[in-house]
């Protein structure tokens, strides 16, 4: 029995590689294993090489290993591109319609030919070769066929009973197909007697689920990689809860429609990636000026312009931190795991309504699209805070307009929803008075600016960096987003004596906590996927002792490898 396997499924985009990986991950998660799956895909619907890397473990795993135990290939290109990633003694499994054994010089590998396409054609259709692959993996990993059938049924039941029956037949026949190499049949067996059943999610689904549990009932968005799954999830779920999802003509319409819904009293959101967020910036500025709560999700990808739309990067940090024309109150939360995506999504709606400002959930492609096994979500952590909303019973009768933008001790004004006679006020993108009428007098302008900007300043004194590892070390490794999982794996797998942490919020920056960390640690390494060290640059604007900060940067469209982070940490300790 083994307890840790890294495998890759490779083929041509459109062959069902992703659905195969998802079914395997869901099945293993329900059997008690922890999994992590990362997709490499091209910016096209069909054609081009794609692969799905899956890490399987008995303990929590938030990243994949640098080398592979098993490579499963539907075509020669998958082997050509990825064979050097196999460990010594690794296994290449390939469709019998190709024959790579005499094509490659590596002789330290095992090769297993299997008739995926032949079985699929004979008992179903050619496209079902991915189901045959699931059957072989089920056999090698010691998974009972019924466990896979249950997940296949859940995935394909909408296609009709005939399609489902053919998939089951292909699966059964694959389990019956002989494997001549006895050693291969047992080498990768998992202990499938683990009883704890777990769920699996991608970060985008967790953000959407968190929004649903937070009471979000309106979303307007325009599809864009890698954020579209948020809209897809909510378009399926929100109608059951009286909510609405609108696919708009562009991102400008998405942000303004969401603002209108929020102003009317509904918790509302939109989601996009860098190019779409650029179009939303004027609307985000309006939210800041008019003090309208709104949640915006940015699942980062490679820019600028269209960039590499299906590749990983974290280069929107400075853009979002300083983005709006003029200066507005803006909060940026940064979940670093799928579970945190859920909880931070709920928190984002609470922050938006408490502080009456735009809140951005800053994610990245690897976190947004990587499917992983998650621990049970705690419903007791779900709280709803709608902030200062005045309704009919606590609105005073007056002949004057409602003082919507009144000056208060905490700089947060009371707001009211449309429909109350006593709550009438003006709303505009212009600088305004306490009742919302345009006002361009210098004294008023300064007071209104101070009011808006100061209402979120208290967040600077909160602890919004989670710290793990050897906390009494001299080195602290900090990151945001999916890099947390890679750093965690490096530190734990190689038993490195360092502290590591992940930001939960970068705007306002947790200045008080950062000052304490600079006093405690002699060296702080900031790990981020961009070319200029954007997060480190923002931190240095707020703190002295710049000599304590060091960068590890990567911006080639791929996540960090374990070896890259390990090498840098060892260099610094």
Number of structural domains the chain divides into? 4
The reported pTM is: 0.96
Kindly report, residue by residue over 167-205, the tens digit of the pLDDT.
999 999 999 999 988 889 889 999 866 668 999 999 999
* Shared domain check, 354 and 283: yes
Q: Sign of the CA dihedral 208, 211, 215, 220?
A: negative
* Shared domain check, 364 and 217: yes
* Shared domain check, 62 and 180: yes
Q: Residue 422 above 90 pLDDT?
A: no
- Mean pLDDT over 387-405 rounds to 79
- Tell me the CATH number at 505: 3.40.50.920
* Shared domain check, 179 and 75: yes
pLDDT for 399: 60
- Tell me the CATH number at 309: 3.40.50.970
* Residue where a domain stops, chosen among 381, 411, 435: 381
Say which DSSP state 302 is in: B
* Shared domain check, 139 and 277: no
* Residue where a domain stops, chosen among 197, 226, 261: 197
Q: What residues does 71 pair with on adjacent strands?
A: 8, 92
- Tell me the CATH number at 132: 3.40.920.10
pLDDT level of residue 331 (50, 70, 90 thresholds): very high
**Whose CA is closest to 514, among 534, 540, 491?**
540
pLDDT for 37: 98
Strand (E) or helix (H) holding 94: strand 86-95
* Shared domain check, 140 and 102: yes
What is residue 127's three-state secondary structure? Answer: helix
* Shared domain check, 406 and 276: no
406, 452 Cβ separation under 8 angstroms: no
* Residue where a domain stops, chosen among 197, 212, 238: 197
**Domain boundaries, position 124:** 4-197
* Shared domain check, 206 and 190: no
Kindly report, residue by residue over 64-89, the tens digit of the pLDDT.
999 999 999 999 999 999 999 999 99
* Shared domain check, 337 and 245: yes
Mind giving me the DSSP string for 160-229?
Answer: -HHHHHHHHHHHHHHHHS----HHHHHHT-B-TT-----EEE-HHHHHHHHHHHHTEEEEEE---TTTHH
Order across the sheet with 371-374: list the strands: 110-114, 86-95, 68-73, 4-12, 49-57, 34-40, 371-374, 199-201
pLDDT for 398: 63
pLDDT for 194: 66
Residue 50 CA to residue 34 CA, distance in Å, equals 23
* Shared domain check, 395 and 358: no
* Shared domain check, 291 and 150: no
* Shared domain check, 207 and 138: no
φ, ψ of residue 306 in degrees (nearest 5): -70, -30
φ, ψ of residue 136 in degrees (nearest 5): -65, -45
């Amino acid at each position: 029995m083994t307890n840790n396997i890294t495998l890759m499924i490779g083929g041509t985009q459109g062959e069902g590689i992703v659905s195969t990986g998802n079914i395997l991950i869901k099945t293993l998660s329900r059997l008690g294993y922890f999994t992590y799956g990362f997709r490499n895909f091209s910016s096209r619907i069909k054609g081009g090489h794609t692969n799905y890397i899956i890490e399987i473990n008995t303990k929590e795993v938030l990243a994949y290993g640098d080398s592979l135990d098993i490579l499963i290939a539907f075509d020669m290109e998958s082997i050509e591109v990825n064979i050097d990633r196999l460990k010594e003694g690794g296994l290449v499994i390939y469709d019998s319609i190709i024959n790579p054994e005499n094509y490659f010089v590596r002789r330290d590998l095992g090769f297993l030919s299997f008739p995926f396409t032949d079985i699929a054609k004979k008992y179903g259709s050619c496209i079902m070769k991915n189901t045959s692959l699931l059957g072989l993996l089920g056999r090698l990993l010691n998974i009972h066929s019924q466990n896979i059938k249950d997940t296949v049924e859940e995935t394909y039941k909408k296609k009709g009973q005939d399609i489902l029956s053919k998939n089951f037949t292909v699966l059964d026949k694959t389990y019956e197909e002989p494997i001549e190499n006895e050693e291969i049949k047992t080498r990768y067996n998992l202990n499938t007697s683990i009883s704890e059943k777990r769920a699996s999610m991608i970060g985008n689904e967790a953000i959407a689920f968190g929004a649903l549990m937070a009471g979000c009932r309106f979303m307007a968005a325009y599809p864009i990689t890698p954020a579209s799954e948020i809209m897809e999830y909510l378009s399926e779920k929100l109608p059951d809860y009286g909510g609405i999802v609108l696919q708009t003509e562009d991102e400008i319409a998405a942000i303004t429609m969401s603002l209108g819904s929020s102003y009317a009293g509904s918790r509302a959101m939109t989601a996009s990636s860098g190019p779409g967020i650029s179009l939303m910036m004027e609307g985000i500025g309006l939210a800041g000026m008019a003090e309208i709560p709104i949640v915006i999700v940015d699942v980062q990808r490679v820019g600028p312009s269209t960039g590499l739309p299906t590749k990983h990067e974290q280069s929107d940090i400075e853009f979002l931190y300083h983005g709006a024309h003029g200066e507005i109150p803006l909060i940026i939360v940064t979940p670093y795991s799928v579970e945190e995506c859920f909880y931070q999504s709920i928190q984002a709606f609470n922050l938006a309504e408490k502080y009456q400002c735009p809140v951005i959930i800053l994610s990245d492609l690897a976190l947004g699209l990587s499917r992983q096994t998650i621990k049970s979500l705690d419903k007791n952590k779900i709280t709803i805070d709608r902030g200062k909303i005045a309704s009919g019973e606590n609105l005073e009768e007056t002949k004057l307009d409602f003082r919507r933008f009144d000056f208060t001790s905490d700089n947060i004004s009371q707001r009211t929803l449309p429909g109350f006679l006593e709550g009438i006020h003006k709303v505009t993108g212009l600088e305004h008075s306490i009742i919302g009428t345009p006002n361009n007098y210098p004294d008023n302008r300064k007071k209104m600016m101070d009011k808006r900007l100061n209402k979120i300043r208290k967040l600077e004194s909160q602890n919004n960096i989670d710290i793990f590892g050897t906390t009494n070390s001299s080195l602290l490794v900090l990151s945001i987003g999916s890099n947390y999982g890679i750093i965690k794996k490096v530190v734990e797998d190689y038993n490195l004596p360092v502290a590591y942490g992940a930001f939960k919020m970068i705007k306002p920056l947790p200045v008080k906590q950062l000052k304490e960390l600079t006093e405690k640690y002699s060296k702080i390494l900031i790990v981020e996927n961009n070319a200029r060290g954007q997060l480190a640059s923002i931190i240095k604007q707020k703190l002295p002792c710049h000599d304590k900060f060091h960068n590890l940067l990567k911006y080639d469209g791929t996540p960090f490898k374990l070896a890259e982070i390990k090498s840098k940490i060892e260099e610094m300790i």
